Amino acid sequence: MDYARFSYFLRRRFENDHEFNLNTIGGNLSKEISYQTLAKSIRALLGDERDFLANAANVAAVLYQELPEVNWAGFYLLKGQDLVLGPFQGMPACTRIGPGRGVCGAAAQKQETLVVENVKEFPGHIACDSVSKSEIVIPMVRSGRLIGILDLDSPIVARFDDDDRAGLEEVVRLLLETSDDDN
Ligand code: SME
């Protein structure tokens, strides 16, 4: 991303600041609109860049900065059988997750988004940060092939709902559409 594009992103962020903070607006419709605004800004931020790792790094940073009550946001990428730590923001995390392990492995295996209201009640949950209370994991699937997952953790129970699921699935679609899978 060149400097002009970056300053455009920051300007948009400033103009839409009230829309970005999903805490400041009550109600599902507003949250949906906030995710639409977030998706537009991510599209603007990624621009013409096609490098998957660079784009994933910026997506992790945007999600971590903009979504309230999120203490970890990042990617695990499929390498062989394992999910291996990719670009993220938050506390250092476990580097390798075996097939079917934890929330990440389960979502990857099922190839469907998992929303966990209380991680303590999820059998096999991998606690990277004891602060985390709830979690959402969105698989990244390109042409039927799993390439990794997007994972977000929150320090509050039941932080993620269907609006977050829809909004974050759209963010993943956007990342896959705008980036080449060459990692
Ligand atoms: N909690 C995840 C592991 C990854 S961290 O949350 C960053 C899991 O159970 O798969």
Q: Which ranges of 21-161 does DSSP label H, i.e. alpha helix?
A: 28-46, 52-66, 102-110
Q: Answer with the residue of higher pLDDT: 111 or 15.
A: 111
Testing ligand 1's pocket by substitution, the residue of 82, 125, 152, 160 carrying the most ligand atoms inside 8 A of its CB is 125
Pick the CATH number of 3-178 from 3.40.50.2020, 3.30.450.40, 3.40.50.1100, 1.20.1440.130: 3.30.450.40
Quick one: tokens of 4?
């002009």
Residues having CB closer than 6 A to ligand 1 are 72, 93, 97, 102-104, 125-126, 128, 132, 135, 151, 153
Q: What is the pLDDT of residue 26?
A: 46
Testing ligand 1's pocket by substitution, the residue of 128, 130, 136 carrying the most ligand atoms inside 8 A of its CB is 128
Instruction: Summarize pLDDT for 135-150 with one digit per residue, the tens.
Output: 999 999 999 999 999 9
Residue spans of the domains in the chain: they are 3-178
Quick one: tokens of 20?
């970005």
- Which of the four pLDDT bands, split at 50, 70 and 90, describes residue 16? low
Q: How many helices and strands (H and E) does the chain possess?
A: 6, 6
Of all protein residues, whose CA lies closest to atom 2 belonging to ligand 1?
126
pTM score of the predicted model: 0.88
Asked if pLDDT for residue 93 goes beyond 90, the answer is: yes
User: Which residue's structure tokens are 């476990």?
Assistant: 94
Rounded (10°) angle between helices 28-46 and 162-178:
10
Q: What is the mean pLDDT of the chain?
A: 89
Asked if pLDDT for residue 78 goes beyond 80, the answer is: yes
